[in-house]
Structure 1
Amino acid sequence: MAEILPESEALQRAVELLGAGAVVAIPTETVYGLSADATNGEAVARIYEAKGRPRFNPLIAHVADMEMAGKIAVFNPLARKLADAFWPGPLTMVLPQREGSGIHPLVTAGLDTIALRCPKGFATRAIAALGRPLAAPSANSSGRISATTAAAVEADLGTRIPLIVDGGATAVGLESTILKVEDGRLTLLRPGGVAAGDIERVAGLSLARGAKGIQAPGMLVSHYAPQASLRLNVDEVRGGEALLAFGPRRATGVDKAVVVRNLSESGDLREAAANLFSHLLALDGAGAAIIAVEPVPLAGLGEAINDRLARAAAPRDA
């Protein structure tokens, strides 16, 4: 089983393991990440092995600061403006990869662009101490619910990795927003912890949507899925279902639910985002075959919440 250390005691041990090519689960402000040295092909391959992740699905490279980022990717003025506004934080930018970046091709899955993010907290300290970027998808089996606590990582991946760094429950609770940045054009590839409207206000541009193909992590149709099936935007609960609720008003038939978890009693979307994955895990553990989900507004972080719910509800491979 994985060793679990509080982040206050874990930095030296984590950096030793990462430097040796091991995979370490670390906390970020979004969700827990399954991290490895992004310049080491064998280490990156261990991420794919631990997750059971398809190798055509690229990874985000995490950096400690703009100096490290500038050695990996080409930043136009718009990208620099967004980095100044949102880094460190839950924004990933897809940018042209710089020649000689040192990033192993497994990270980019053959693309000529790279997804970059500068996270907050322990992850940044670990990257700075290692001196190299970390590839770090969410710390869960591929396609399943992302982990927002160390306990959730242990339950899923505890037998596959040597160390889990415990930083408590993550603050944002959703993965980062992924944005492709080109001259004069911004394309939202995945909604996440930074709301689209906030990006548009900083950039002075509207975000394009509807990107085709796999251009970044988190774009698979079926993703973030519990064992149970999801039934979305319900106004009535059926017998034997678990209920993922939102806000103060309930769907009819709530008394038929085997268990209820409310993303936010007050209808606060930030609270709902932080609770999404932990509540889905709890409902999935109740044993119901179906999780009914009340409607969540699309505004602000609601776009990202609905994106994750739609992917969790999508048809999946057996």
Structure 2
Amino acid sequence: MTARLTAVARRGGERTAPRPRWWGGVVDHLVLLKPRVMSLVVFTGAVGFALAPAPFDWLKFLAAMSAIAAGAGACGALNMWWDADIDANMARTAMRPIPRGVVPPIEALAIGVLLAIVSVAALAVKVNGLSAALLALTIAIYVPLYTMVLKRWTPLNIVIGGAAGALPPVIGWAAAANSLSVGPIAMFLITFLWTPPHFWALALCRSGDYERVGVPMLPNVVGHAATCRQIVIYSALLIPASLGPLVIPGVGLVYGATAAAADAVLLWRALALYRLRDGDESARRKAAMALFGFSILYLFVLFAAMLAEAMLRARV
């Protein structure tokens, strides 16, 4: 190893020492928690907390966001533990910690169960019982219902399982106000309807992986054309749903204009994909990845606009 590093340095290439072994272990365990998904979950949860009709309490906010993050991490770890067999045979997931052998499955299970228990208990003790119950429901939908049953049983897996990813803003709202109303339901509907076109766009590009491991994702069951049609339908349903947060005090014209622009781009990309439903595979994959990439930005922009306008109107 020393000789290799010396040779590389002489060629003027890599000049940094290899990462310490302990650091690699830390990174592998962080990956186990799906930090990118966790960051989006915490962000939408924070927006729900901030928009709730209650005085903003920083200590309660930090406790709630920490619990939501831990709950999301629990879902990630338990998902990777259960799906280790199929992850090892899919290009997108083969480099996850368990398939690579750097985190033992039993360790992932222990981490997931511990985080699930601690997150719900902490939310119940430090915040309130309603938000804790909603977090427990989220974990229950994502792990035993979606991961262990629906994912390998029905092509509607992501539609039903998407409820778990849509609950964080509801949890955030409940944590702040200890009650629910039409506002958090409106935020829930956005993410719930957003999840299928977001994930099916990726599935169109990874259909071979899912077919190989026996996961009935929509493109493998009904074909590319029907999947593209469903993506258009859900993208169209998002248009009225995206205007739902206008019922929240402080959310108004700025958010409405932002949502309308984002809806137009998302629907345009969905229609562009639909036009290629029976066309060249390479072009269809390119359009699907473009839609997938924009869909991530779409959700962030909508929730950021809600928060920004409410703050500008001094309602938060």
Q: When the two structures are superposed, what TM-score results if normalisation uses the length of structure 1? A: 0.29
More helix per residue = 2
More strand per residue = 1
Q: When the two structures are superposed, what TM-score results if normalisation uses the length of structure 2? A: 0.29
